[in-house]
Each structure stands twice: as structure tokens, then as C-alpha cells.
Structure 1
Amino acid sequence: MLIPFLVVGGLGLVLLVVSLVIGDVLDHFELGDGLISGTALGVGLTVFGAAGALTVSAGLELAWAYVLAALLAVAGYVASVVFVRSLARSSDGVPASAVGLSGVATATITASGGEVSLDGPGELERRLAYADTAIAEGSRVRVIEHSCSRVKVIAEHA
């Protein structure tokens, strides 16, 4: 009787993938101050299915397979909730704005895109950039807008 475990585990895997790709689907319901998590529920259901299938395949009685799978699923769920909360607490919060920072165009920048390397604290990588007028590679630029990971820049004149 592997079918129930495979179905539950498969549903858990789908929920887990959806929660990781799209975002936590249960996060919008504000249930239990983060106690109900789509990611953690996906982990729990996947662990239930895998543990149940493995215990039945190992020859344990079906009743013991359900008990062991349920215990491991609860442990997986709790571990996931604790891990996600720990990650949320350790996040840096709102990213600092790049408006006002200067840098260098590492590729030609146009209205449709380009790339810059900024001279600010924590600016180790390049950023996607765009500008109203074309800016040649190697030109000094200044950020005038910051939206997500993209910045709008203008050419700096020496």
C-alpha cells in the first residue's frame, strides 16, 4: 500500500516547489504568526510520503509505517519552521538605496539596459542599469533612481 504515501509525498513536493519558486502560498493568510508555512507544510508532506514509502518497502506493518511517517513529518515540519524563522531573523532587512552613488559603466548603457559597477559600501558586484540617453562603456555615472536590482543612471561630468 505505497499509493497513499506516494500521493501525499507528491502533493508535498508540488507544494514545496511552488512555495520556493513563486513564494510561500500560505504566507498571505497570516495564520498563527508564521506557524503555518507552505514551505514547511511541503517539507512535512514530502517527508511523510518518503518515510511511509521507505518503511512499507522495508517490510514494517502498515500501522507502524503511518506512525513513523507521521512522527518524521511533524519533526520535518517543525525543523523547517524553525529554520525559516531563523533565516528571516538573520536577514539584513530593507536593502540600502543606491541613489547618489557614483560608479563606472561596465557596458554601454541605453534606455533598454546596460551595466554599472558602483563605488559604494557593500557594492561588490555589477548592477543592471538604464539611462534616458546612451552612456558609453567606461564613463563615470551617478545613480538617480533605484528600483529592485536595477538603477537609473546619468553621466557624471568631470
Structure 2
Amino acid sequence: MLLPFLIVGGVGLVLLLISLVLGDILDHFDVGDGAISGTALSVGLVVFGASGALIATTGLDLVWAYVLAIVLGIVAYALSALVVRNLTNSSDGVPASAIGLSGVARSDVSTSGGEVSLDGPGEIERRLAYSDEPIAEGSRVVVVEHVGTRVKVAAN
């Protein structure tokens, strides 16, 4: 009797895919005022379905398959809800401005583009950059403007 497990797991998988593409689906409908995570609920349903189907094929009584699948589904929900909440709380959504940071041109930088490495806390290895004046590779630069993921630099 695998069908109930497969249906619940399939519904959970579809909800999980929707959550990954559109964001947490329960947030869009204001369900539980943010107390219930749609992503975590989807993970719980997938684990319930998958573990129930696996346990049912081992030959145990169907009652034990349901009991173990429910326990594993609740544990998966709780763990994934904790992870989702921690990730949500840790993201500030506002990137730090790079204006004023200095660095080195890692390629020739011109109006059409180039790459720089900046000296600053949390800076990535290289950034896309552009400049009003041509800047040779290896030259010191300073960021004068921050536009999206690119920075406008000037010779330092």
C-alpha cells in the first residue's frame, strides 16, 4: 500500500519546487502569520512520503510505516524550519557599498569593462569594473561609484 506515501511525497515535491521558484508559498497567502514555513512543510511531506514508501517495502506492518514516516516527517519539518528561519534572519538584503574602497586592477579597465580586486572586509576575489579613463592592469584604483554588481573605478 505505497500509494498514500507516494501521493503525499509527490504533493510535497511539487510544493517544494514551487517554493524554490516563487519563494515561500505560505508567505504569499499570509498563512499562520509567518509561523509556518511552506518550504519546511514541503520538506516534511517529501520525507514522510519517501520514508513511508521505503519502510513499507521492508515488510514491516503498515502501521509502523505510518508511525515512522510521521516521526521522520516531523523531524524533517522541524530541522528545515529552523534552517529557513536562520537563513531568513541572517540575510540583511542590503549589500555593503564599495564606494571609497581601494584595490588593484586585475585586467585593463576601460569604459567597456575590466576586473579589479578590492581591499575590504567581506570582499569577493574579483569584481567587474569600468572606468572613464583607461587603467592598466596592476594599477591601484579607488571605487567612485557602485552600480549593481559592477563598480566604477578611478586611478589612485
TM-score exceeds 0.5: yes
Structure 2 residue 150 is matched with structure 1 residue 151: yes
TM-score by length of 2: 0.77
Range moving further from structure 2, 74-83 or 55-64: 55-64
Q: What letter matches 2:104 in structure 1? A: V
Which secondary structure does the structure 2 equivalent of 1:26 belong to? Answer: helix
Residues 1:3 and 2:3 are matched in the alignment = yes
Determine if contact 1:52/1:65 at 8 Å carries over to the other structure.
yes
Q: Corresponding residue for 1:99?
A: 99
Aligned to 1:125: 125
Contact 2:143 2:154 in 1 (8 A): no
Identity %: 63
State the distance in 1 between where 2:36 and 2:83 align. 13
CA distance in 1, matches of 2:128, 2:27: 30
Partner of 1:86: 86
- The one-letter amino acid of 2:126's match is R
Secondary structure in structure 2 of the residue aligned to 1:85: helix
Are the counterparts in 1 of residues 24 and 37 from structure 2 also a CA contact under 8 Å?
A: yes
Give the direction of change, closer, same or farther, for the CA distance of 1:81–1:153 in structure 2 (3 Å limit): same
Any gaps of 5 or more consecutive residues in structure 1?
A: none
What residue in structure 1 maps to residue 41 of structure 2? 41
- What do the CA deviations read for 1:69-96 (whole angstroms, capped 9, x no partner)? 223212211221122223334x263432
- Relative to 1, partners in 2 of residues 1:11 and 1:133: Cα closer, same or farther, differing over 3 Å? farther
Alpha carbons of structure 1 residues 25 and 132: separation in structure 2 relative to 1, 3 Å: farther
- After superposition, the CA RMSD in angstroms is 2.8
Q: Which residue of 2 aligns with 1:51?
A: 51
The alpha-carbon distance between structure 1 residues 38 and 111, as it changes in their structure 2 partners (threshold 3 A), is farther
